[in-house]
Amino acid sequence: VVVGAAFFMVAAGQVQAGAVDTLQQEYKAAGAGPFSADKGQQMWTAKHMNKEAGKEISCQTCHTEDLKKSGKHMKTGKVIDPMAPSVNKDRLTDIKFINKWFLRNCKQVLGRECTPQEKGDFLEYLKGQ
């Protein structure tokens, strides 16, 4: 059983790395890189004016400061699973899902789409959590 659990953990890590690596390669092909976890963390904490909410928000507004804890959507109140892949095995495993949420969340927080550099930096930060 222990061997099976270890295999599952390694396999899950490979899937996560696969999706992140694929996306970061796409971003590099678009001229981005090298990627910085520090810049990704700065994106996570930076506040931006959200016109709809009428206040400054950051990624932490909904996802909390601790990426290992659940968050809550500021408008709907819907619970958001932890962002940290170390506690949420489903994070960073599905390219389509990652792209969907980059589009929505960048527009909501930044008021625009994220650049390939920003996405790569953010993934670099997030995959270490």
Burial class, 119, CB count within 10 angstroms (exposed 0-12 / middle 13-18 / buried 19+): buried
Nearest alpha carbon to residue 103 among 95, 7, 71: 95
Q: Tens of pLDDT along 117-129? A: 999 999 999 999 9
Alpha-carbon distance of 129 to 125, in angstroms, equals 7
SS3 35: coil
**b or e along 98-115 (b: 16 or more beta carbons within 10 Å of the residue's beta carbon)?**
beeebeeebebbbeeebe
Q: Tens of pLDDT along 3-34? A: 444 433 443 444 345 899 999 999 999 999 99
Alpha-carbon distance of 31 to 2, in angstroms, equals 43
pLDDT band, residue 68 (cuts 50/70/90): very high
Bridge partners (DSSP) of residue 71 are 80
Quote the strand ranges of 58-100, DSSP E: 71-72, 79-80
Query: Per the confidence metrics, is the pTM higher than 0.75?
Result: yes
Q: Tens of pLDDT along 80-123? A: 999 999 999 999 999 999 999 999 999 999 999 999 999 999 99
At 53 the pLDDT is 77
Tokens 């390694």 sit on residue: 10
Alpha-carbon distance of 61 to 45, in angstroms, equals 9
pLDDT band, residue 2 (cuts 50/70/90): very low
